[in-house]
Homo-oligomer: A and B are copies of this chain.
């Protein structure tokens, strides 16, 4: 699984797929929306855009329409679109789940405009499964923390486990919602 870009680069690529944007537009998105997890500093955005351009994943066009200082507006190339699709549809591993689920949520969010519903369903199912596995891997540690001296460690671990449980529940609910939208056209007999 060769990495096409950094997490920030992939986040940018997905935003550019929603609509063409300048570096400044991207900064505003990261600064003012719940995507603020990613950096909004110019020292991160502009180099990331340059790297994406060097790899041929995005292309920038100078927009001189306004009298303002010229904006450089970027859009994904075909290759960029393919890289984006590869990223969002990657199988979900336990490692993905362990290191912050933000990345996974971003993949899910961008999926809406990019792949069909079956692919989304597959993603959610594999996500739920990976979370279950991860929880099963954490639980043994709880047994080693039953002494009263270990109360802080135990509680911290419980917080983690519960947060994963909450995410697994979400994944299953989202799956139901996505699949309940319309019966899949190819298999009308399976409805309900």
Contacts and interface: CB of A to CB of B under 8 A. Distances in A.
B98 A160 contact: no
A112 interface: yes
A98 B36 CA distance: 8
A177 B155 contact: yes
A138 interface: yes
Question: How many copies of this protein are present in the complex?
Answer: 2
Given A37-B99, A155-B174, A158-B170, 17 more contacts: A34-B141, A34-B160, A36-B98, A100-B100, A105-B160, A108-B152, A108-B156, A109-B153, A111-B152, A112-B150, A112-B151, A113-B152, A155-B177, A162-B170, A163-B163, A163-B170, A165-B166
A156 B106 contact: yes
Which 10 interchain pairs have the tightest Cβ spacing? A112-B152, A166-B166, A109-B156, A105-B156, A159-B170, A155-B174, A109-B152, A109-B153, A163-B163, A108-B156
A192 to B, nearest CB: 21
A83 interface: no
Given A112-B153, A152-B111, A159 B105 contact: yes
A4 interface: no
A150 B101 CA distance: 20
A174 B159 contact: yes
A73 interface: no
